[in-house]
């Protein structure tokens, strides 16, 4: 493995991409500490620390600690993800967007442009709600968060938070284009990993003062390792469908006649479903800040059975939904037919598409249950057994999933340049999720 890591520095293009990615992530982390004008981040930081394990703590985790710092990036990348959800939903029902999606790269660029516009609009709405929420904290006796409340503060907050989200979106796109890995995922990854040292320190501190006995500490470690192992197992799991290529004569040579496999991922949707579900669960809180309806907050209170049930159902729904959007059995069947390939015992064309769709639905069900279980388990441990599981199942899944994706891309660069991979002995290869 050490020699494999050393090979990374021997490829100039890969070295530049990794350096560029790390530089952009460093810029993002620096921006986390740029405070929104007119607020006291010390008071807000204390409120967020007291709300650890609640919905505010979850929002703070996804923003990379920006909410705790009351940063100009406090909204994080969630408005962009929300806009992506809306555009993908509309793509399934609006014929114009569906046609754009079929146009290839040009159509995707147009959809990405619409996503950027949607991000700005959602950022304005959420920043307006954020300004109202910050002003309401002044009346709760926890300290003065907003120094000069009013329309001036609201307008400034909307402008700064929207600008911060647009900047994060730009950073993510630059990383995807010029760096290594998916930029948006890496930004979320960096925000979650940044909280990991503090989580370890808090756990050890709890153990040193007697709040966490050795049995509970061991249980936390075992649960953490078990969840990580489960994530790696399912993320690399696949169902292989045998594909037979027909023989064909070209001149005097015979081509084809060999067998290959069509790999179908158990978790085809990756880390997108828990992110989508978490984002949607933030809307009731945003709506409650406008309507002042307590039942909305109680409906999605972090750790309650209502929250876990809605969260799990949303994850299962988005696993199927995102898989249906990104994986088209009809297109796969048509491509196999054009290549002269077929599934043994299945007629090419429509029957093959139906068979692939049937298999995909079955394995997606198992993958959706796995994702829901991994994301709900930590909150269940926190609320039922009072065991501090600071990173959370969603955070762990994002960290492990993004790490596997990034490692797979680095592995591809190494293999392309005829170097051994860095993930194991000679000949070992890491399998990506998509």
- Mind listing the pLDDT tens digit for each residue in 252-287? 666 666 788 888 989 888 877 887 787 677 666 656
Domain count, the chain: 2
SS3 245: strand
The verdict on 13 and 129 lying in the same domain is: yes
DSSP β-ladder status, 238-245 and 341-342: antiparallel
The verdict on 147 and 214 lying in the same domain is: no
Quick check: is 185 in a domain? yes
The verdict on 17 and 137 lying in the same domain is: yes
Pick the range with the lowest mean pLDDT from 31-35, 37-41, 47-51, 241-245: 47-51
Q: Are 82 and 68 in contact (CB under 8 A)?
A: no
The verdict on 254 and 381 lying in the same domain is: yes
Query: Structure tokens of 266?
Result: 């158990």
Identify the CATH number of the domain in which residue 120 sits. 1.10.3370.10
The verdict on 1 and 111 lying in the same domain is: yes
The verdict on 168 and 52 lying in the same domain is: yes
The verdict on 189 and 331 lying in the same domain is: no
Quick check: is 382 in a domain? yes
Q: Is the pLDDT assigned to residue 425 strictly greater than 60? A: no
Pick the range with the lowest mean pLDDT from 233-247, 290-304, 339-353: 290-304
- What per-residue confidence (pLDDT) applies to 168? 92
The verdict on 222 and 188 lying in the same domain is: no
The verdict on 204 and 179 lying in the same domain is: no
**79 or 259, greater pLDDT:** 79
Tell me the range of 131-145, 183-197, 292-306 where mean pLDDT is highest: 183-197
SS3 342: strand
Q: Are 356 and 262 in contact (CB under 8 A)?
A: yes
- What per-residue confidence (pLDDT) applies to 433? 47
For residue 121, count other CB atoms closer than 10 A to its CB.
15
The verdict on 33 and 15 lying in the same domain is: yes
Tell me the range of 188-192, 218-222, 281-285 where mean pLDDT is highest: 188-192
Quick check: is 433 in a domain? no
Q: What's the rounded mean pLDDT across residues 413-422?
A: 66
Q: Is the pLDDT assigned to residue 424 strictly greater than 70? A: no
Per-residue pLDDT of 307-337, as tens digits, reads 788 888 999 998 998 888 778 888 888 888 8
Query: Percent of the chain beyond pLDDT 90?
Result: 15
Q: What's the rounded mean pLDDT across residues 152-171?
A: 92
The verdict on 158 and 305 lying in the same domain is: no
- What per-residue confidence (pLDDT) applies to 414? 78
The verdict on 278 and 189 lying in the same domain is: no
Query: Degrees (nearest 5) of the Cα angle 20, 167, 37?
Result: 125
Among 390, 411, 427, the domain-final residue is: 390
**110 or 304, greater pLDDT:** 110
Question: 144 is in which domain, residue-wise?
Answer: 1-194
DSSP β-ladder status, 253-255 and 248-250: antiparallel
Q: Is the pLDDT assigned to residue 89 strictly greater than 80? A: no
Query: Rounded mean pLDDT of the chain?
Result: 80
């Amino acid at each position: 493995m050490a020699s494999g890591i050393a090979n990374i520095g021997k490829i100039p293009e890969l070295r530049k991409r990794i350096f560029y990615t790390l530089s952009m992530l460093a810029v993002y982390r620096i921006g986390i500490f740029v405070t929104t004008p007119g607020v006291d981040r010390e008071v807000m930081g204390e409120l967020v620390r007291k709300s650890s394990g609640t919905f505010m703590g979850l929002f703070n985790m996804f923003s990379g600690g920006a909410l705790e710092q009351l940063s100009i990036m406090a909204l994080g990348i969630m408005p962009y993800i929300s806009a992506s959800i809306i555009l993908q939903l509309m793509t399934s029902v609006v014929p114009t967007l569906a046609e754009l999606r079929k146009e290839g790269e040009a159509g995707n660029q147009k959809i990405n442009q619409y996503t950027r516009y949607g991000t700005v609009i959602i950022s304005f709405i959420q920043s307006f709600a954020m300004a109202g929420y910050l002003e309401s904290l002044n009346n709760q006796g926890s300290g003065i968060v907003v120094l000069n409340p009013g329309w001036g503060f609201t307008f400034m907050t909307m402008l700064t938070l929207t600008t911060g989200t647009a900047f994060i979106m730009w950073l993510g796109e630059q990383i995807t284009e010029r760096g290594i890995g998916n930029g948006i995922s890496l930004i979320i990854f960096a925000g979650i990993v940044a909280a990991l040292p503090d989580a370890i320190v808090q756990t050890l501190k709890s153990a040193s003062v007697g709040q966490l006995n050795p049995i509970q500490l061991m249980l936390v470690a075992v649960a953490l390792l078990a969840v990580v192992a489960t994530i790696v197992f399912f993320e690399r799991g696949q169902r292989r469908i045998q594909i037979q290529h027909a023989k064909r004569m070209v001149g005097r040579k015979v081509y084809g006649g060999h067998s290959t496999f069509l790999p179908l991922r158990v978790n085809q949707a990756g880390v997108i479903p828990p992110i989508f579900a978490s984002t949607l669960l933030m809307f009731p809180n945003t709506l409650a800040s406008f309507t002042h309806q307590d039942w909305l907050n109680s409906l999605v209170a972090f750790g309650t059975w209502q929250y876990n049930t809605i969260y799990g159902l949303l994850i299962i729904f988005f696993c199927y939904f995102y898989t249906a959007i990104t994986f088209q059995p009809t297109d796969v069947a048509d491509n196999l037919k054009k290549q002269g390939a077929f599934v043994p015992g299945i007629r090419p064309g429509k029957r093959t598409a139906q068979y692939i769709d049937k298999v995909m639905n079955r394995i997606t069900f198992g993958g959706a249950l796995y994702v829901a279980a991994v994301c709900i388990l930590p909150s269940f441990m926190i609320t039922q057994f009072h065991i501090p599981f600071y990173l959370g199942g969603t955070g762990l899944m994002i960290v492990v999933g993004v790490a596997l994706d990034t490692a797979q891309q680095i592995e591809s660069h190494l293999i392309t340049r005829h170097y051994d991979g860095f993930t194991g002995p000679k000949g070992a290869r890491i399998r990506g999720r998509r």
